A = this chain, B = another copy of it.
Amino acid sequence: MSVPLLRSDRTTVQRLPKRGSYDRDILNAILDEGLVCHVGFVAAGQPYVIPTTYGRLGDQLYVHGSAASRMLKAMKGGLPVCFTVTHLDGLVLARSAFHHSMNYRSVVVLGLAQEVIDPQERGDALRAIVDHVVPGRWNEIRPPSENEMRATLVLRLAIEEASAKIRTGPPVDDDADYELPFWAGEVPIRTTVLPAIADPRLAAGIVIPAHVTGYRLPGGAAAE
């Protein structure tokens, strides 16, 4: 059961508002396609932006890390954060410098990150993070020990105050510029996956599992 997205002044797309979206399905699709998010937080007045992995369960995002990390220490008390996921889809080459752009899909989620205390939710969140990156992985690894769980901080951020921003298609030049003798168009950018490389210390007789041989990026690209 999804709650409606809260479109606040803070998340309303101000620059080129037609690129903005507040639809939960669109936001979730962009979030689910990402491997890395960039989390912003403030410590002693200084903003920090840290890349990290994440998972989603319903309307909640989860990130994790060492209980000792600067980011998670600062977040632990329920600090305001900004959670951003960006997919670069293409370079947009216009006839004018001014209208050069990128095709992209991005999501920004604002809110208070809270430490997850409940053991069941902590376990579910870690599984969601691992399986977000490689679906099916959690079932074929050693789960966290009690010591490892103690060393791991899990944080939750509700997807409530959020927006997506999307640009697609060819450049949009000023009318007069379409007569200029300059080439214009798009250079598509894609993220791809190469065949897996076994750990040099892999024990003899261990077969590469289907969740690795059949791995596809969340966006759909399989190994070349």
**A47-B81, A187-B196, A193-B189 given; A182·B141 CB < 8 A:** yes
- Among residues of B, the one whose C-beta sits closest to the C-beta of A12 is B70
Q: CB within 8 A of A188: which of B80, B130, B197, B199?
A: B197
The yes or no answer to A2 lying at the interface (CB within 8 A) is no
Q: How many residues of A are counted as interface, with CB atoms below 8 angstroms from the partner's CB atoms?
A: 94
* B88 A35 Cβ-Cβ under 8 A: yes
Contact present for A84 and B49 (CB under 8 Å): yes
From B66, B203, B215, A178 is in contact (CB under 8 Å) with B203
Binary CB contact string for chain A from 115 to 140 against chain B (1 if under 8 A, 0 otherwise):
00000000000100010011001101
Tell me, rounded to whole Å, the shortest Cβ–Cβ distance linking A143 to chain B.
6
In the bound complex, how far is the Cα of B79 from the Cα of A45, in angstroms?
Answer: 10
What are 15 A-B contacts defined by CB distance under 8 Å?
A10-B46, A14-B70, A15-B69, A36-B88, A42-B47, A46-B82, A47-B82, A51-B86, A53-B102, A91-B134, A94-B141, A97-B130, A140-B183, A187-B194, A187-B196
